[in-house]
Each structure stands twice: as structure tokens, then as C-alpha cells.
Amino acid sequence: MPARVSGVGTSVPPRVMTNDELSKIVDTSDEWIFSHTGIKSRHIAADDVAASDLGLEAAQAALGSAGVEPESIDMILLATSTPDYPSMPATASIIQDRLGAGNAGAMDISVACSGFVYGLGTAAAFINSGQSSCILVIGSEVYSKIINWADRNSCVLFGDGAGAVVVQATTDAGISDTVLHSVGSGALSLYRPVGGSRESCLPSTPDSRTKLHMEGRQVYNFAVQAIIDTVEEILGRNNLTIADVNHVVAHQANVRIIDAACKRAGYPSDIFFKNIEHYANTSAASIPIALNDMEQQGLLGPGDTVITVGFGAGLTYGGNLLTWG
């Protein structure tokens, strides 16, 4: 069966941190952050809020928008790199329980900012195969807990939030293609050095070694090309041109990454949706948050052709081709 997105929802913490506030914590400024990234503010979770809390609220909103009861879900795919607990249990299982989704399997997807497009592609494949008929795909992130707040090269870039979609079997066109890639040679350009099985955390480990470490320029160059390669591959495989596409919803990591990709490939920049100004980089949550904002703003119409593009740690990238509605 074909699969389509039948509902979308989000949850962001109420606390907003502006660039000006951030400039009191590290040596930066609103002018530098906005001109280098397009970010003005981000939402920051309270100390007692974890990925499952935001993910649960986004999931409930998406189910409400689709008119689907939790018992109808047969799989929950949670894309996150900030799980409630390190490595086990899957945060998806915590959401499954709290949601009352008693008939659902649940698993986490760990490909950082590419997580949502990997999840959407996986959901479509499960439904296409007949294995599932109703899947919840969630991206939920609390990067404020894993960034090094003393590192101005990375801490200004991220925010917290969650977005979710319901994917259901349909008779019409929906999610018609997915491309997924990994460039593992770049694995250490965006990672947390300590706390996994490579190097365990000792009492003497400096806190900064357990936090996110990023080679910004390397990731930037990769990301620009990842957007172009994903769009071109999807267009080529589906005999489309960029003129056939109504919206490209790329991961919101930096406005300059999107602008540079448009300039290099000659894409019209107005088909690329941007909302990073208000959220910063919410990793796996950024694409479903963007889809939700687009719906709220009346930008997504039935039959619109949409390409999503994710890229991030791994390094990983990929995208989906969707007919909306």
C-alpha cells in the first residue's frame, strides 16, 4: 500500500532564549549569530524535561490532527540523539507506554539530524510491504543537555523541540520515494567523544569531553553538498525537475547552508522553507516542526510536491519525496 502523512504536531518548551541572553553566557553577539546562521532565538527545556516529554506531546498533537487513536498505531519510530537514558531503553518505548499505544512496536533511530527522513522512509517501507498500516514518526531533541555551553562555536546553534507525523496506508500517492546515505569517514567531525563503548566516562573526565564536539566548517561544506545531492537524486529518480517541486523542507541547521546550496545549484530559494530564526537547530525535530509551521501558515496544499532533506552526524544525509494531503 502507498503511505501518506495524515497528521502533524509539535511541542517546544515555553522558555525562549534570545541571542542577547546567550551573549551573556559566552563571548558572542546577536549580530554574529544572526549574520552567520539566521538564528535569533531558541527554545530551551527545563531541567526536568527529557526527549520523551516533548516527543509525547508532539505525538499527541499529531494523533489529534490525524484523528487517530493511540491503539491504532502499530509502530513508533523515534528519531533522537538525546535519548532519556544512554543506549537503553529506547525512548520510543517510554513514549509508547505513556501514549497508551498498546499495539505498537517501538524503536529509536540514531542518525542525528537525518533521523526524521530516515524515519519517514522506514515508515513508508513498512507500510508499502504490508507489515504496518499506521506509524508514528517522531523527532524529539533536547540538545541543551548535550552541548558545551562554554563553546561558542557550537552552543549558539542548537535549540530544543519535538515534531511528529502520523503515517498511514492510503490508496492515493503519498511518500513515493526515499534516498538515504552515510559518509562514515566524517564520523568524528560531529560527535560526543566520551561516554560510549570507545571511551568510558571516568571521574577524571572533563565534562566538555562528554558533550557535543563539532568541526563546523567541515560539517558546513558537507551539508551544502548533501542538500544538492539529495535533491538531484530524488529529481533524477522520479523524472522531475526543480520546477515540479512546490516546497523543499531542508533540515534547519543554518540559513547560509540552504542559501549556499540554492546558489550553487541554481534552485529558486523561495521554495525552501525557513524557520530557523525562532528555533535554531532542533536536529531530528526540525523537519516535522517546519512541516507543522507550514501547515499552520497555510503554505501546504493538497497535492503539493514536497522534498525533505536531512543531514547531520554520521555523517548521514537523505530525503523523501511526498505528495502532501
Active site residues: 113, 251, 281
C-alpha span between 293 and 49 (Å, rounded): 23
Give residues with Cβ within 8 angstroms of 160, minimum separation 6.
12, 13, 42, 43, 44, 45, 49, 54, 141, 142, 143, 144, 282
Which amino acid, 258? I
Place of cell 529529481: 235
Decide: is 281 part of the binding site for ligand ACO (CB under 6 A): yes
Decide: is 112 part of the binding site for ligand ACO (CB under 6 A): yes
Shortest distance (Å) from residue 280 CB to ligand ACO:
10
Decide: is 60 part of the binding site for ligand ACO (CB under 6 A): no
Q: Is residue 253 within 8 Å of 311, Cβ to Cβ?
A: yes
C-alpha span between 139 and 308 (Å, rounded): 14
Cβ proximity to ligand ACO, 33 vs 56, nearer residue: 33
Q: Is residue 17 within 8 Å of 42, Cβ to Cβ?
A: yes
Give residues with Cβ within 8 angstroms of 170, minimum separation 6.
1, 2, 3, 4, 6
Shortest distance (Å) from residue 323 CB to ligand ACO:
27
Which amino acid, 80? T
Cβ proximity to ligand ACO, 156 vs 179, nearer residue: 156
Cβ proximity to ligand ACO, 283 vs 308, nearer residue: 283
Decide: is 37 part of the binding site for ligand ACO (CB under 6 A): yes
Among 208, 216, 265, 277, binds ligand ACO (CB under 6 A): 216
DSSP 8-state symbol, 159: -
Decide: is 190 part of the binding site for ligand ACO (CB under 6 A): yes
Among 45, 63, 113, 179, binds ligand ACO (CB under 6 A): 113
Decide: is 40 part of the binding site for ligand ACO (CB under 6 A): no
C-alpha span between 207 and 201 (Å, rounded): 9
**88: helix, strand or coil:** coil
Shortest distance (Å) from residue 15 CB to ligand ACO:
20
Q: Are strands 75-79 and 105-109 parallel, antiparallel or unpaired?
A: parallel
Among 7, 121, 159, 312, binds ligand ACO (CB under 6 A): 312
Among 6, 10, 11, 28, binds ligand ACO (CB under 6 A): 28
- Taking CB atoms, the residue at the shortest distance from ligand ACO is 312
Among 39, 44, 95, 253, binds ligand ACO (CB under 6 A): 253
Angle between helices 216-237 and 255-265 (to 10 degrees): 50
Q: Which stretch binds ligand ACO (CB under 6 A): 31-39, 66-74, 180-188, 296-304?
A: 31-39
C-alpha span between 88 and 197 (Å, rounded): 13
Using CB under 6 A as the binding criterion, the count of chain residues that bind ligand ACO stands at: 24
Decide: is 254 part of the binding site for ligand ACO (CB under 6 A): yes
Give me the residues that bind ligand ACO (CB under 6 A), please.
28, 32-33, 36-37, 112-113, 152-153, 156-157, 190, 214, 216-217, 219-220, 223, 253-254, 281, 283, 312-313
